[in-house]
Structure 1
Amino acid sequence: MSTSDQQAPPRRLAMPELLIGIGLLACAAAVAWQTLAIPVSPLYSKVGPTVFPYLTMTGMLVLSLLLIVAALRGGWQPEEEKETPTDWKAMGFVAAGLVANLLLIHPLGFTAASVIMFVLICYGFGSKHPLRDALLGLILALAAYFGFARALGVNIGAGFIENQLNSVIDAIIGMARG
């Protein structure tokens, strides 16, 4: 039998990959829905509080469509990866991080909840350096918080840490002006 007589196996629908693409598409729809609910003052000219959520939603939409197309073409995972068992313990830490963020953002504030989420997710991905992860999570969370709070004027969940830092920043600004 020659190589021209052999045919490649027909492409199959990769159901797990398709579900990931559809899930990401649903997340993009949720971002769009929630972004439409953000009140926008007519004082904003072009850049307002909805610019970054719309950019995020657009990126999620494009990625979800690419994932769905890849799944319809047989998936993106190599065959040997499809045989790898799911690490449920790692998946549990990632899920715990996301749930912890959801439950703790109101009582503790954005920064503390984000640091806890970051450490749990890093551990789920195999990190064995929780102090380094907490410090990196703190830097990223503070940058995100102050980017939204100070630059865009959007409160994404001030807690003890944010309130203390805001007091220090306001005092420094007050001394600089006076």
Structure 2
Amino acid sequence: MSTTDQQAVPPRLAVPELLIGVGLLACAGAVAWQTLAIPVSPLYSKVGPTVFPYLTMVGLIVLSLLLILAALRGGWQPEEEKETPTDWKAMGFVVIGLLANLVLIQPLGFTAASVIMFVLVCYGFGSRHTLRDVLTGLVLALAAYFGFAKALGVNIGAGVVENQLNMVIDAFTSTLGG
């Protein structure tokens, strides 16, 4: 084939990449659905507890549409990456981590479920430093939890860890205050 013949070939539809874009669009739909379920007090003016979820949803929609467009144009992966086999074991740990968070957030609370998810996802990405991953996940999960609970007044799933820390914080503040 000559160079002009190669340029005339239309790009192939990149099905795996298309599925990622469509999956991300579905995630944006889930974010919208769940954000609509957040109770909003009429006391909030323009900025309330739904601002960041809606911004996240818009970002997911834009990114998913760009991914779908790239997939329709042949995908974003270079040819040498397309030949690399999928690491199903690693992907399995990531999926198990996400599912564990979904299943465990109600019985264990946000922090414990998030730490378990973080450790499993880190393991899926190749980390073998479990203690470091637990501590990092704990710091990030507590920052997220208390950011929502204290700064925004939104309970995103208090569990044993959060309740114990709230008791310690309340005891400490009552000691300082009285």
Q: Following the alignment from structure 2 to structure 1, what is the Cα–Cα distance between the partners of residues 64 and 29? A: 11
Q: Tell me what 1:117 maps to.
A: 117
Q: Following the alignment from structure 1 to structure 2, what is the Cα–Cα distance between the partners of residues 90 and 121? A: 8
Q: Following the alignment from structure 1 to structure 2, what is the Cα–Cα distance between the partners of residues 44 and 175? A: 32
Q: Tell me what 1:73 maps to.
A: 73
Q: Following the alignment from structure 1 to structure 2, what is the Cα–Cα distance between the partners of residues 36 and 160? A: 28
The amino acid of 2:100's aligned partner reads A
Matches within 5 A, 1:24-103: 24-103=24-103
Q: Tell me what 2:129 maps to.
A: 129
SS for the counterpart of 1:157 is: coil
Normalization by structure 2: what TM-score? Answer: 0.94
Aligned residues: 177
SS for the counterpart of 2:99 is: helix
Question: Unmatched 5+ residue regions in structure 2?
Answer: none
Moved over 3 A (4+): none
Change over 3 Å in CA distance of 1:90–1:2 after alignment to 2: closer
Identity %: 81
Q: Following the alignment from structure 1 to structure 2, what is the Cα–Cα distance between the partners of residues 174 and 58? A: 42
Q: Following the alignment from structure 1 to structure 2, what is the Cα–Cα distance between the partners of residues 37 and 112? A: 24
Normalization by structure 1: what TM-score? Answer: 0.94
Q: Following the alignment from structure 1 to structure 2, what is the Cα–Cα distance between the partners of residues 13 and 123? A: 32
Change over 3 Å in CA distance of 1:102–1:2 after alignment to 2: closer
Q: Tell me what 1:155 maps to.
A: 155
